[in-house]
Structure 1
């Protein structure tokens, strides 16, 4: 099968391209720019385009399918040529469904926790040598790729993202998978540039629950009131199975999970991660892993890439970076670090980087998000606001939104770096939360402060 990727360099797209190449497909692609790690990974497989740009001459009647990435625009010259030739054009999630329609599809949805839960499931399967197809949004230890496709595996585990499918398909990705087994971890308004109201955002999760195939099942976090309401209101003839955070305690910086066999030391920490673990356990049981085997495997799970990643440690201090950026994630992550390191001063730094977080109307959602920190810092770039063509955001608006009188706000990357590098981190837990890099912060440099 000959497949061409329009915008092959994206994090998801390049992984799918590699997965198809590994499966024996003929794969080509284009993009106007490609950065590492996508660039070097495509190059290693011989899939890196010879030149950057869009080349309509690459689109011919010999192609069996086009996969269209979100980075492309609706007027992309290659897309227009494909439409003119009447070629089959798939969005990323549509193509994944086509590859898994004869398998048992396991889809993990939610505003937060879905990458971690999917990663936990895959870790447990890998630990017990159970081979499954998958798509996950982070690089996992022990896994070469973020997408795996085979002819023979029975299960396909999919991280169910609620963002749009493609420039010409405005449906959320997770509406297209039609799960046999599903999980919903939490609902907290996000992607305000696509879902302008809270009600519109929540509606997407109702559609997801209704898309589960007849006779299928959903495990849902009953501690999230919106999740509970959405799932229990659905008329879909499916099994509805609730889960909640298991009992645990923290002793000397070690989280101990209560199990039927006694206390189990685990690598991850924080109430939200223990809640994620409870959901992952249910899904693994659906997939044939019993409780004891689950606990044996999960004890060695260290977390998904960029999720609560320890970047430095000294005898008295520790530093983490985390992908958290939405209000619910920021609040959960900050609380988790404070609970785990209650004897240390917690300095929590948040970069407002996404469309939602830089939207003046959305900012009020951050109220209380950094309250668990002893010292709270917010960084944002007015230049980023300009680039995203958003209304100006002022430091006064940010201070008002977080409702914390001692909040420190930086708008200049150098000022933020100076703040960090002049700090004495004795007996401190530093938490750096962002989907960006604070205007060019070198995280390796941060490590030197802890050596």
Structure 2
């Protein structure tokens, strides 16, 4: 196979390019900018373009496929050339389906918990020695790639609802056609793509309609919105498996779960993770694992990068960072930490970094999201607003959206650093939540401060 990537430097695009190269395909690609870690990863595999930019002559009649990344615009000259030559053009998820037609496909969808649930399935399957392909949206311990394509009989996919490409605006998870599907929950997000909640809901109804006949939908029945969508969309040619929080106990900051009679202590914690774990178990059961095997291997699962990741610990202080940014994710993460450490003060810092979170019309969705914290701050940078071409966001509007009078709202990094410096961390859990990097905040200095405390 001879394949060309338009926007080969994308975070998952370059991973797919590497995976296909390792499979023995001939791979070329272009991009107008390539940053780390994609730059080093492509270079080490001999796939880094000699120069950046778009070169229509790299697109020729001998190609079997062109894969188009989200970064590419509709007027991209290489895309135009591919269309002139009538070449097969695929978005990332469309091509994943082409490579997995003969496989058993597991797709993990939902507004939250997709990465962690996918990672749990992967971790258990690897521990059990079961071969599988995968695509996942984060770095996972023990996996050198976030995409792997081989001749394995199974593929496990994180399946998100964002548009597939510049020319294919339908959500990515509409192109996977799984036999085993998971829906973790529904909470409105991506308002730049789905301007109303009803439009957002419709994407999940369509996803259910695209599960293969005879397949199974594993869904979180603690989410009333999701339950309603399932009931409204129910098909008589599917099996349905609801799930809830796994039976568990918490003692001295340690969580023990019971999975179909198999009991084990686990590293991850919080109801949202115990929901994810239950969904992962049910998927692994469909793939032939028994409860004892799953429990044995899930015991040492430490989580995906930046999902309740332990940042620092001392005798008096524990600090975590988490990818939480949408309202439902923020609430679930705070509740998890509160439940795990009931005797400690909880200090929460949330960065507004996504288009939705920085949009004044969306802020009311965060009402009460930080209430479980003893002290809380919300940070956003003016630079993030500029990048997303959004108007200035008044601090008072943010405070009103969260409906917390004592909330500290900060829009300058030095002021955030000062807030953290003043914070009394003794006997506390500090929780940092963001899909960004707090405008370049030096987390190393914070780690050193806690370690030396």
The alignment partner of 1:171 has SS state of coil
Q: Please name the residue that 2:184 is paired with.
A: 185
Deviations 1:149-203 (A, max 9, x none): 112x211111111000000000100001111110111000011000000000011
Cα distance, 1:255 vs. partner? 1.1
Contact 2:180–2:216 under 8 Å retained in 1 = yes
Contact 2:264–2:296 under 8 Å retained in 1 = no
* Aligned mates of 1:259, 1:75 — CA distance in 2: 52
Contact 1:243–1:278 under 8 Å retained in 2 = yes
Contact 2:377–2:409 under 8 Å retained in 1 = yes
Q: Please name the residue that 2:225 is paired with.
A: 226
The alignment partner of 2:145 has SS state of coil
* Aligned mates of 1:122, 1:67 — CA distance in 2: 25
Cα distance, 1:262 vs. partner? 6.8
Q: Please name the residue that 2:198 is paired with.
A: 199
Contact 1:425–1:449 under 8 Å retained in 2 = no
* Aligned mates of 1:313, 1:136 — CA distance in 2: 28
* Aligned mates of 1:239, 1:251 — CA distance in 2: 37
Q: Please name the residue that 2:14 is paired with.
A: 14
* 1:81 equivalent in alignment to 2:84: no
Contact 1:257–1:265 under 8 Å retained in 2 = yes
* 1:54 equivalent in alignment to 2:76: no
Deviations 1:48-100 (A, max 9, x none): 11112212221121221110000111111111111122111100000000000
Q: Please name the residue that 1:426 is paired with.
A: 426
Q: Please name the residue that 1:313 is paired with.
A: 313
Where in structure 1 are there 5+ consecutive unaligned residues?
none
* Aligned mates of 2:248, 2:371 — CA distance in 1: 23
Q: Normalised by the size of structure 2, how large is the TM-score?
A: 0.97
Cα distance, 1:233 vs. partner? 2.0
The alignment partner of 1:95 has SS state of helix
* Aligned mates of 1:260, 1:178 — CA distance in 2: 29
The alignment partner of 2:202 has SS state of helix
Cα distance, 1:29 vs. partner? 1.0
* 1:170 equivalent in alignment to 2:166: no
Task: Report the count of equivalent residues.
Answer: 450
Q: Please name the residue that 1:216 is paired with.
A: 215
C-alpha RMSD of matched pairs (Å): 1.2
**Correspondences of 1:41-190 after superposition (within 5 Å):** 41-151=41-151, 153-190=152-189
Cα distance, 1:365 vs. partner? 0.3
Q: Please name the residue that 2:386 is paired with.
A: 386
* Aligned mates of 2:290, 2:262 — CA distance in 1: 17
Q: Please name the residue that 1:239 is paired with.
A: 239
Cα distance, 1:137 vs. partner? 0.9
Deviations 1:179-235 (A, max 9, x none): 111011100001100000000001100000010111111011000011111112224
The alignment partner of 1:199 has SS state of helix
Cα distance, 1:332 vs. partner? 0.4
Contact 1:231–1:240 under 8 Å retained in 2 = no
* Aligned mates of 2:233, 2:259 — CA distance in 1: 32
Contact 2:4–2:63 under 8 Å retained in 1 = yes
Where in structure 2 are there 5+ consecutive unaligned residues?
none
Cα distance, 1:421 vs. partner? 3.0
Cα distance, 1:331 vs. partner? 0.6
* Aligned mates of 1:35, 1:129 — CA distance in 2: 34
Q: Normalised by the size of structure 1, how large is the TM-score?
A: 0.98
